[in-house]
Amino acid sequence: MPAPQSPAVPLPLIFGPFDPSGASHLPIDAVICAGLGAHAGSVATAIHVQDTAGTETIQRLSPELIDDQARCLLEDMAIGALKIGPQYDPETISTLAQIAADYSSLPLVLQLCAPPPVPDLEDLDPEETIGALLELLVPQAHLVVVDAGLPEQWASQGLLSSARADDPIGALHEFGAPLVLCCNAALGTGLNGLVLHARDQAGRRWPWPAPRVRTGDAESLLATVLCCLLARGLDPDQAIPQAVAASSALLERHFHPGMGQRILLHAQP
């Protein structure tokens, strides 16, 4: 008898740090994807030592290990989309950029973050890391997810195009990002939300719950949901509104498991 066919399950591939508290990044991304009917492959790029209060140390993994693991999965499974979460050094970013270039047909969701202030990264120049993100990964991203204040901060530090210092989103477009989804953007007095910036188009806006959890966790959640939907074959115009609705509902569920901050609850009720 012929072997039964496997069901068509979306297969996103997530690159990011391992967060042992389960608040964000790996392995919680796999839980989010499973809740959306997808099966996530994971490539750890760093291992955190952290709790619900914050990150104490970060152990970066070797670029060779990252490359080997990614290509094993990409050559084995029909991966449908990529998500790259926080990255901490130019060498890792260069490795990920080469992988993304070799699989450029796959949509890439890039979550932009500033390197955290931990002792393990003191040997690195944060401006070099941010420069590598902007020059190597942003041009390959189909969609960038970022806190609205971060491009403004980078522009004030002279890390974006000096010609676009008063338009940091325009500078990200010039680096090559066609779509930039800003979280925690000001929509009005006392009201924050999401703003989608497309090159040469008016921005689209959505309300966004005021997070009672760490802001970065909410951005990571949104980027992961987007990656799942793109892996399902949706285009960004279809995926973004659906991701906003799904993520907003998930943000309403959180709990307080330790002595630090509240974290998102992804367990089924």
Per the structure block, which two tokens stand in for 194? 């999401």
Is the pTM above the cut of 0.85? yes
Per the structure block, which two tokens stand in for 197? 């910036």
pLDDT of 224-267, one tens digit each?
Answer: 999 999 999 999 999 999 999 999 988 888 888 999 888 888 77
pLDDT of 6-52, one tens digit each?
Answer: 568 999 999 999 999 888 899 899 999 999 999 999 999 999 999 98
User: Once rounded to an integer, what is the mean pLDDT over residues 148-164?
Assistant: 84
Per-domain residue ranges of the chain: 12-264
The Cβ of residue 152 has, within 10 Å, a number of other Cβ atoms equal to: 16
pLDDT of 194-213, one tens digit each?
Answer: 999 998 887 899 988 777 77
In the chain, the amino acid numbered 103 is: Y
The pLDDT of residue 269 is 59
The Cβ of residue 44 has, within 10 Å, a number of other Cβ atoms equal to: 18
Largest distance between two CA atoms of the chain: 66
- The CATH superfamily holding the domain 12-264 is Ribokinase (3.40.1190.20)
pLDDT at 99 over 60: yes
- What's the rounded Cα separation, in Å, for the pair 139 and 133? 9
Q: What percent of the chain has pLDDT over 90?
A: 66
